[in-house]
Amino acid sequence: MSRTAIRRPGRAATDAAARPPRIVALALAIALALPALGGCIRQTGDFDRVEANPINDTVLPFAGGLVAEYGRGEMVSSFQNTDRELVLRQRAWALVVPPHTKDWIGEILVEGQRTRLLPEIDHRYNVAAYWNLLRSDGLPIHVDRLEISRYGFASSEARWARLISDMNQDALLIGPFWAEARRVAGDDRSRLAAMNRRPDLSVNELRDATARIDENARVLDWVWRSMRFRLVSYRYAIDRLAVETPTDRRAAVERAYAALEQAIHAAERESTLLAGRPGPSIATAVKPSRLATATPPDEPVPQK
């Protein structure tokens, strides 16, 4: 066969076919390199507020978006975030990795999940981790050159006090997060209505819009999964502390636990009112969203 008889694919076709694997390889390389440099842990400043930095705010989310879209086939939007969407994600971070319990939930793993470098792995967390930290002697441990601090307690009552404080602080964060989630849900309803009014939107615009609604729903799902895990972890610690170091403050402990449980369950129940599907004009072009057009309730989440 002559050389001219062999048809080779054009450069554009070759690049298009190779692009997803190359993009995934690049994103994975970034994902593997940055944690080794300690860049995957978000730094906090005054009042435990997250400090802005290009690695956590730009590089890791960019790499994670590529991994999520091309590596796992998830929906990823190229839209800019609204102010409310940014606040929602900040409040979600405060709940998933609250400053007062950040040691026990694994900041690096959470940051990997937040930026979508990692899939949803929170279901694999160890429910006994918080209990183990309460029982620790406060000395740091070292894992691959990273120093991980542990709690240190002067007495058994100090452990109970810390447990009560952690549950109370978690309960205080539920209301503000849920209020912001309702605002974002309202924006998503407006987004869907605007999409249905514009028949000239491109398929890419429809996909980006619906992907953003899906991303917002993922934030809610992540927070509620984390809160359910938190309840199980607290109960595990309470039951074992009661055996190892009984206290006269057991009633206060149970009140704090009940208040947190009530706040979580009430907010989670109400969040199901936001679930639904996009309208018929986009349902055939894109994956249905988990948020939709239901009107959120006006009542605040009960909390103490």
Cα separation of 238 and 42, whole Å? 30
Residues 6+ apart with CB under 8 A from 5: none
Mean pLDDT to the nearest integer, 190-207: 90
- Residue 96 pLDDT: 84
CB-count burial class (<10 Å; 0-12, 13-18, 19+) for 43:
exposed
Contact between 88 and 184 (Cβ < 8 Å): yes
pLDDT average, residue stretch 148-175: 84
pLDDT at 276: 46
* pLDDT score recorded for residue 268: 79
For the chain, percent of residues with pLDDT exceeding 90: 32
The tokens for 49 are 């507020």
Q: What is the Cα–Cα distance from 260 to 185, expressed in whole angstroms?
A: 24
Token representation of residue 294: 């239901």
> How does pLDDT run across 232-282, given as a tens digit for each residue?
999 999 999 999 999 999 999 999 999 999 999 888 777 766 554 333 332
pLDDT digits (tens, 9 = 90+) for 10-51: 433 434 444 456 566 555 655 554 554 445 555 554 444 556
Nearest to 181 by CA among 227, 213, 206: 213
For the chain, the DSSP string reads --GGGPPPPPHHHHHHHHHHHHHHHHHHHHHHHHHHTTTTSPPB-GGGPBPP-HIIIIIHHHHHHHIIIIIH------SPPPHHHHHHHHHHHHHHS-GGGHHHH-HHHHHHHHTTSS-S-GGGS-TTHHHHHHTS-S--EEETTEEE-----SSHHHHHHHHHHHHHHHHHHHHHHHHHHHHHHHHHHHHHHHHHH-TT--HHHHHHHHHHHHHHHHHHHHHHHHHHHHHHHHHHHHHHHHHHS--TTHHHHHHHHHHHHHHHHHHHHHHGGG-----HHHHTTSPPPS--SPPPP-SPPP--
In terms of Cβ atoms closer than 10 Å to its own Cβ (0-12, 13-18, 19+), residue 224 is middle
Tens of pLDDT, residues 55-65: 666 667 777 77
Q: What is the pLDDT of residue 101?
A: 53
pLDDT band at 82 (very low <50, low <70, confident <90, very high): very high
Top pLDDT among 128 and 183 is at 183
pTM strictly above 0.85: no
Residue 142: strand pairing partners: 147
State the pLDDT confidence band at 94, using cuts at 50, 70 and 90. Answer: confident
- More confident: 147 or 25: 25
- Least Cα distance to 69 among 207, 162, 170, 206 occurs for 207
